[in-house]
Structure 1
Amino acid sequence: MTLNVESPERKEETGKSGFGARFALILIALLWASQLNGLIGLMGSNAQAEIAVHYHTTEIAWFSQIGLLIGVFATPFIVKAAGMFGKRRLLIIITTLGLVGDLIAALSTNFETLLVGRAVAGFYGPSIALVYALTRDVFPPKLVGPASGFLGGGMGVLALGGPFLSGWVLDDYGYRGVLWFMVIATGVSLLALLFLVPESKVREPRTPVDWAGGILLGGGLASVIYGVGKGEQWGWTSGDTLSFIGFGLLAVIGFVLVERRVAHPMFPITLLGRRRVWSTFLVSSLIMGAIFAQGTVLNLLILMPKIPGLSDGLGWTATKNAWVSAPNSVLLIAVSVATGVLVRRFDSRLLLGIGGTLVAVGVALMSEFHHSVGQIMAIGVFSGVGMGIVVALVPIMVIESVKPEEQALGNGAQNMMQGVLQGVMTQVAFVLVAQNSNVMKGTAFYVDDSYSKGFLLFAGVIAVGTLLILLIPKAKSLKEAEVGQAA
């Protein structure tokens, strides 16, 4: 892709070299940072079957969920601090926390310590919000769209190379090798941020921290996720389940009331109250949350063993899964990059509708046809094209909806809403999948009907999210939207 753009600070050799060396290095560093969560999530998802068998646990869902809980709780404080003190600075801090958590997990000798490490690493959760905000701030106007689309398309790079990397590490070194690779990957990201990425000059005024609002919002949403996650174990009508879910919902209501009264709210109600903003956040969070959540169930289906009468997993190796998914990953990359260019000419709402429809159709078909290599590859064409469109558009639509000084808060709010919906959908899916599970030696194995129900859940949510695009009003296109310091 060739783009003729000059830096606003000085003329660089960008005329025929696209982004130019400086911006290319920044983009690579931000790409690694933006996909680190996804890479760790992918490798962890692939390793969870082996971890569940090794530790004889039926609570393997918390291997991924504990970090999500911490990330949701921390997001309001991290994005607020990033707006006041610098997005790069906060990104470095949370990457360091992620590295500490990964080390604890890699050195763990029991499941409880492993979860502690994953919890500490959860502070890295809001990283994607800061990465996209930095992209808007440090790239010239004409590069913001392609750069954002490229970062969104990084999910395709991850989907292409991640399974091969995960397969090699998991098949040759086991789940412990996966945990140590997480340490290495986070360390590389930290070094790239320190030496390649400039700080944003866009700042919010330094105001007192709205601790009450942040605790009510983060704590309330985390409480809802935790209550839903324990619902199957405690009983959906038990006092404990209803208390956690009820407290969480009351805390969110309390957050709204507090934000209307404080002088310097954590998330201004005026921002979240704008129709273009809340409708974009709702639609993108429903679709993206379901996309990421269904990946957990898909990996269980593919990697759990096939044991007649006990487990209906496909029993593939991680490496075989990588080869099967590779063509569709290439498709996702190509579509996402093309979408980053097309969105400057076509209404982003129309493109998102096309992408969401294709993903919903693909996941719905997967509920019935997931028994062979041919079926999964053929259905993956729908999902690959649709996901390529969606992942490229979400950050771009947030840029279209908020002002430069609201970018970190906007990305943070969208990221938090997506995390909550992803967490709730993952927990509900595990409840559906576990309904017909067989437990042997402390390990849960799942039957084919359970996987089908999980996929149908996600297909339905994606379809609803796609229909809700009708709620999003027309706003400035990416071509007209303000960008940060480059403007």
Structure 2
Amino acid sequence: MSEPRQAVIGGGAAPGSGWTPRLVLSTLFLAMILEALSLGATMVSIGLPEILKEFPTTQGGWLTTTYFLSGAIACPLLGKAADLFGKRRVLMVALLLSGAGALICAVAPTFGVLLVGRALQGPVLATLSLIPSLIRDVYPPRQAVLASSITITGLGVFALFTPLFIGWLIESSGWRGLFWFDTVWTLALCGAMLLVTPESKLRQQARLDVLGGALLTGGVLAVLLYVSMGRSWGWLSGRELFLLLIGAVLLASFLLHTRRAQDPIVNLSLFRRKPLLLVAIGGAIGYGISITISQVLPLLALTPREAGHTYGLGLTTVEYAGIGTPHALMTVAAGLLVGFFVPRGRHPQIFLFLGLAGWAVGTPLLIFLNDSFGELFLAAAVLGLSNGLVNAAVPNIVMRATPAGDQGSTAGTVQLCQTGFSAVTPVVMFAVLAPHATLLTGGGVVYAEQGFRIWLVVTAVLALAMLLIGTVLLRERRGESVQEFVADRPGAAAKSAPQPAGAGAEGPAAG
């Protein structure tokens, strides 16, 4: 067993000191930061019908895609910056950018300006990887595991009121009220974190791969435009094929650049290790499915049955809290379970597999259980449990498989895979739904149930395929430890020297 890990900054938790008032407050505010992140995604999903009434379009998926695409590029860049300048400092930069983006969304006169604001909000997604890394640096090991799980999946009190609060905001202030609240909430959390959360002293020498980020952004954006506009422009039209060619060229250039760059935005060598490959792909699929389900649920619940379709409960946004709240609470409960069992010797990849299995079961349930409030309630609860298991398992697998000195950049690379796939899935989903869309004369868009069924089958197949690949090919075997990974890398001893004692395979994730 390794020795207890020393706190690395003044004012942090001493070894064996357990929970202190400062650590409790720090965990609370860090959880609130990730609640702000969740709010940024959830409020658009719930508010999408209202937004589409003001800006009628079949491209509503871009409100989510722009958010996640911006976050996908920002995550590894901010991860590198965190290794250079400090994790708390970079967290505050991400929050300030998100607050500015929310302000732009609140006053947006057009759909295009709304997309610009969403792009500025995207960097807050880096907090998903930076917060667990910061916690590992400044918390005692056992407290680090529980704090990571709590902050990633949220706190029950927020999950209880968030859907109801979002519904109330929409009904009282319209969808713009969501963004006004998000502006104030996000900026206020900057000051709170500055007061109670200590900064990590771990630093590395690295360079920001701006060129790699630009190539990746351009390539993914071109391919997404091809997928999104193919039906209206023509899949084999000259404009569409040109977009696809540009995307392919940029992505190929990105791969070549990554192999040659000294500090690439995506470190492909990390994925030679099965645990990181598992968490990158499995987390990406789970997170991507979660994002689309968070949009499908409100569309199924809020659409009025009078629209002439075979689904739709016609709920108000406040009434939708009766479905959104249990979904969120099951997510929180799953996170607490992971935080309880991982320090007691349970491998976090077990919970990743359970979450994927839950997705494979829950999405087909939603195909058949959407005709009444009770049926949608049950399907939402199962999907919320799956969501929490996957989201809580991911940071714990990363912490277990990565030396402390590499936490920022490695977590940023894994987060790139998650948010990058999450940027793709909404566009693909709305491309699947588009042939089944009807533009209403009074404003808004309604989709036929067949479109939802096709997409839900796709998600179930994705989850099941990843579960089989993960358990058969990518499951971590005995002896595949983080120490072996460090020992195999050139210059690893020097690079990992700053990590505190006990931060290896038996660090926070192993308890």
Report the TM-score, using the length of structure 1 for normalisation. 0.90
Matched, 1:149 2:149: yes
Give the drift of 1:312: 4.1
Residue 262 of structure 1 is matched in structure 2 by 261
CA distance in 2, matches of 1:256, 1:454: 30
- Aligned CA distance change for structure 1 residues 243 and 452 (closer, same or farther; 3 Å): same
| Structure 1 residues 76-475: aligned runs within 5 Å | 76-154=76-154, 158-205=158-205, 207-309=206-308, 312-344=311-343, 345-441=345-441, 443-470=444-471, 471-472=473-474, 473-474=476-477, 475=480
Q: CA deviation at 1:480?
A: 5.7
Amino acid aligned to 1:27: T
Given that residues 135 and 147 in structure 1 are in contact (C-alpha distance below 8 angstroms), is that contact kept between their aligned partners in structure 2?
yes
Are residues 1:39 and 2:39 paired?
Answer: yes
Q: Who is 2:56 aligned against?
A: 56
Residue 162 to residue 244, structure 1, CA distance change in 2 (3 Å): farther
| Alpha-carbon spacing, 1:354–1:19, altered in 2? closer, same or farther (3 Å) | same
Q: Given residue 221 of structure 1, which amino acid in structure 2 is its aligned partner?
A: V
Distance in 1 between residues matched to 2:73 and 2:11, nearest whole Å: 41
Number of residue pairs matched? 480
Q: What one-letter code is carried by the residue in structure 1 that aligns with 2:131?
A: V
TM-superposed deviation, 1:268: 3.0
The residue type equivalent to 1:282 in the other structure is I
The Cα of 1:154 is off from its aligned counterpart by: 0.9
- Matching residue of 2:505: 481
CA distance in 1, matches of 2:144, 2:335: 14
**Against the structure 1 CA distance between its residues 440 and 327, is the aligned structure 2 distance closer, same or farther, given a 3 Å change threshold?**
closer
**Distance across 1 between alignment mates of 2:155 and 2:146:** 15
Using the alignment, how far apart are the partners of 1:373 and 1:169 within structure 2?
22
Is residue 159–residue 328 contact of structure 2 (8 Å, CA) maintained in 1? yes
Shift of 1:287: 1.5
Whole-angstrom distance in 1 between the partners of 2:127 and 2:30: 10
Q: Answer yes or no: is the 8 Å Cα contact 2:153–2:331 preserved in 1.
A: yes
Distance 1:397 1:246, change over 3 A: farther
The corresponding residue for 2:28 is: 28
Name the CA distance, whole Å, in 2 between partners of 1:110 and 1:212. 31
Q: CA deviation at 1:163?
A: 0.4
Q: Secondary structure at the match of 1:126?
A: helix
Is contact 2:302–2:317 with CA below 8 Å preserved after alignment?
yes
Name which of structure 1's ranges 286-295 and 57-66 shifts more when overlaid on structure 2.
Answer: 57-66
Mapped partners of 1:396, 1:163: distance in 2:
27
Shift in Å at residue 106 of structure 1?
1.1
> Percent identity of the aligned residues?
29
Q: Secondary structure of 1:370's partner?
A: coil
Q: Secondary structure of 1:39's match?
A: helix
Q: Answer with 219-228 or 184-193: which moved more.
A: 219-228
Aligned equivalents of 1:249, 1:160: Cα separation in 2 = 44
The CA distance in 2 between the partners of 1:257 and 1:13, in whole Å, is 45
Change (3 A) 1:276 1:443: same
Counterpart of 2:320 in 1: which secondary structure?
helix
Q: CA 1:11 to 1:433, structure 2 compared with 1: closer, same or farther past 3 Å?
A: closer
Deviation at 1:31, TM superposition (A): 1.0
Distance in 1 (CA, whole Å) between partners of 2:237 and 2:135 is 46
Deviates more, 1:91-100 or 1:304-313: 304-313
CA distance in 1, matches of 2:18, 2:359: 31
Say which SS state the counterpart of residue 260 (structure 2) adopts.
Answer: coil
Evaluate the alpha carbon distance shift between residue 160 and residue 468 of structure 1 in structure 2; reply closer, same or farther with a 3 A threshold: farther
Secondary structure of the residue aligned to 1:237 is coil
Spell out, residue by residue over 1:360-383, the C-alpha distance to the aligned partner (whole angstroms, 9 max, x if none): 201111012111111112233432
2:65/2:424 contact within 8 Å kept: no
Question: In 2 relative to 1, CA 265–70 (structure 1 residues): closer, same or farther, beyond 3 Å?
Answer: closer
SS in 2 for 1:307: helix
Q: Distance in 1 between matches of 2:268 and 2:439?
A: 47
For 2:372 and 2:113, the matched residues in 1 are separated by: 37
Change (3 A) 1:481 1:240: farther
8 A contact 1:225–1:420 mirrored in 2: no
Asked if structure 1 preserves the Cα contact closer than 8 Å seen for 2:313 and 2:373, the reply is no
The CA deviation at 1:87 is 1.4
1:428-464 per-position Cα deviation (integer Å, ceiling 9, x unaligned): 2112222222122363211222222222222222222
| Alignment partners' CA distance in 2, 1:230 and 1:355 | 33
Q: Equivalents in 2 of 1:328, 1:185: separation in Å? A: 23
d(CA) in 2 for partners of 1:76 and 1:335? Answer: 27
User: Structure 1 residues 378, 131: CA separation in 2 closer, same or farther (over 3 Å shift)?
Assistant: same
Query: Separation in 2 of the partners of 1:424 and 1:463?
Result: 19
| Distance (whole Å) between structure 2 residues aligned to residue 146 and residue 94 of structure 1 | 24
Amino acid at match of 2:397: M
Kindly indicate whether the alpha-carbon contact (under 8 Å) linking 1:328 and 1:381 is maintained by their aligned counterparts in 2. yes
- Structure 1, unaligned runs of 5 or more: none
Which whole-Å CA distance do the structure 1 matches of 2:237 and 2:385 have between them?
43
Given that 2:5 and 2:503 are in contact with CA atoms closer than 8 Å, whether structure 1 keeps it comes out as no
Residues 1:169 and 1:62: Cα distance change in structure 2 (over 3 Å): same
Give the distance between the partners of 2:438 and 2:14, measured in 1 at CA: 62
Partner of 2:19: 19
Deviations 1:185-213 (A, max 9, x none): 212222222222221111111x4443332
Q: Deviations over 1:407-434 (max 9, x none)?
A: 1122211221112222222112112222
- Greater RCO (Cα-Cα under 8 Å, separation 6 or more): 2
* Alpha-carbon contact 1:66-1:115 (below 8 Å) kept: yes
Three-state SS of the structure 1 residue aligned to 2:33 is helix
Runs (5+) with no aligned partner, structure 2: 483-501
CA distance in 2, matches of 1:248, 1:399: 33
The aligned amino acid for 2:47 is A
Structure-2 change in CA distance of 1:227 and 1:406 (3 Å): farther
Equivalent pair of 1:106/1:179 in contact (CA under 8 Å): yes
1:479–1:127 distance in 2 versus 1, CA, 3 Å: closer
Does the 8 A contact of 2:164 with 2:321 survive in 1?
Answer: yes
CA RMSD of aligned residues (A): 2.9
- Structure 2 distance, partners of 1:218, 1:397, is 27
